[in-house]
């Protein structure tokens, strides 16, 4: 099939990834209202087409937290990436590295920090969840430092785990439970199975073997279910910042007042994010709230955005509304599930080509020149 847009990769991934793991990517919490509006609200924004303007010598190159990037896009942290494709985190990190953009490894990755570092040349970013086990958190931060991760992405919006109906109905687990439904789902994807047989990375690599009393996946579920820290506050953010000592990006900001508080922590950037619509259902889409947050703190801290980006046009719209960088999650996961590393690269190529052409047709040659003047407004 011709792969022309991210939707094509999504269609192919659905055919190649076991249902429970594909649904894990393609789901939001409760009614999935916020999950869907993350995408649909981008579609409501109209760009201003300009003509008879020199469109030559264009560039999407910029910086995110002072790191040079080939376009204002980073790969977002996503849990269970290694269940979309064997060694998925490694493959995605390699594709991002070759493309010249940041890769962010999740705390809940299948491949460990050390496994990804061993197979990549350049530093990647690491995403941290705040756990109740502070000794584990200290070790995790120190491991990220030892792996020379160049930024810590601290996620604040998972003190409680949002309910995702598809995961419950699928009985999602890693590795899959040996029940008929799961056996069928896995065996119906023979190439996926064969690849999984060639890797040693099957569990949560950052956790198993690194937590007291957690030696195998059987004891993992009960530990995880009690670990997300419901008492998380800004004092703990300060403790993490000091322990880390490097570039800090705070993820999960969806309110201007929280954005202001985050800007006072010394963070290098914040990510306007609703966890891909997987936490508070009924919350604002990220692109809808972005302008208000930029107005509040855009001069105080670098503002990034994730959620709903499925095209280069979406990247351009976010930049027009004040974002200094964007993140893709599902878009790269579709590519990974469809074609592995090649699919991640294809997703990045699609987004870059669309962003480049969109910027040109808006009359801009440099991504830094995009602003609200490029957005059509009836007011």
What is the predicted pLDDT for the residue at 214? 67
Mean of all residue pLDDT scores within the chain: 94
Greatest extent of the chain over all pairs of C-alpha atoms, in Å: 67
What is the predicted pLDDT for the residue at 183? 87
Nearest to 214 by CA among 157, 156, 135: 135
Q: Name the CA dihedral angle for 330, 336, 341, 344, rounded to a multiple of 10 degrees.
A: -30
Does residue 368 have an active-site annotation? Answer: no
pLDDT tens digits for 95-120? 999 999 999 999 999 999 999 999 99
Q: Exposed, middle or buried, 78 (CB in 10 Å: 0-12/13-18/19+)?
A: buried
Which domains can be identified in the chain, with CATH numbers? 6-374 (3.20.20.70)
The pLDDT confidence band at residue 222, using thresholds 50, 70 and 90, is low
Annotated catalytic residue within 210, 275, 304, 368: 275
- Determine the distance from the C-alpha atom of residue 311 to the mean position of all C-alpha atoms in its chain, rounded to a whole number: 15
Does this model's pTM top 0.75? My answer is yes
């Amino acid at each position: 099939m011709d792969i022309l847009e991210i939707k094509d990769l999504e269609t192919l991934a659905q055919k190649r990834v076991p249902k429970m793991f594909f649904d894990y990517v393609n789901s939001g919490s409760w009614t999935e209202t916020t999950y869907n509006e993350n995408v649909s609200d981008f579609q409501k924004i109209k760009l201003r087409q300009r003509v008879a303007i020199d469109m030559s010598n264009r560039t999407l190159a910029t910086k995110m937290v002072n790191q040079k990037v080939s376009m204002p896009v980073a790969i977002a942290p996503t849990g269970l990436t290694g269940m979309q494709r064997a060694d998925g985190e490694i493959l995605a990190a390699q594709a991002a590295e070759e493309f010249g953009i940041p890769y962010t490894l999740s705390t809940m990755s299948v491949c460990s920090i050390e496994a990804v570092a061993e197979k990549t040349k350049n530093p990647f970013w690491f995403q941290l969840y705040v756990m109740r086990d502070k000794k584990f958190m200290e070790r995790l931060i120190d491991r990220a430092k030892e792996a020379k991760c160049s930024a810590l992405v601290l996620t604040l919006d998972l003190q409680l785990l949002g309910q995702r109906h598809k995961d419950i109905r699928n009985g999602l687990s890693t590795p899959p439970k040996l029940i008929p439904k799961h056996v069928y789902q896995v065996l119906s994807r023979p190439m996926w199975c064969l690849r999984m047989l060639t890797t040693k990375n099957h569990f949560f690599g950052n956790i198993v073997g690194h937590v007291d009393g957690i030696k195998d996946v059987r004891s993992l579920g009960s530990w995880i279910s009690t670990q997300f820290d419901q008492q998380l506050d800004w004092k703990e953010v300060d403790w993490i910042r000091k322990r880390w000592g490097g570039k800090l990006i705070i993820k999960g900001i969806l309110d201007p007042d929280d954005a202001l508080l985050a800007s006072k922590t010394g963070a290098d950037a914040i990510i306007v994010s609703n966890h891909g619509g997987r936490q508070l259902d009924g919350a604002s889409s990220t692109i809808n709230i972005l302008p208000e947050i930029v107005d509040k703190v855009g001069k105080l801290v670098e503002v990034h955005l994730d959620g709903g980006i499925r095209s280069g046009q979406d990247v351009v719209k976010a930049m027009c509304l004040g974002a200094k960088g964007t993140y893709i999650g599902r878009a790269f996961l579709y590519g990974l599930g469809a074609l592995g590393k090649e699919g991640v690269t294809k997703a990045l190529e699609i987004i870059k080509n669309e962003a480049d052409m969109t910027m040109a047709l808006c009359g801009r040659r440099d991504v830094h020149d995009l602003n609200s003047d490029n957005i059509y407004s009836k007011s």
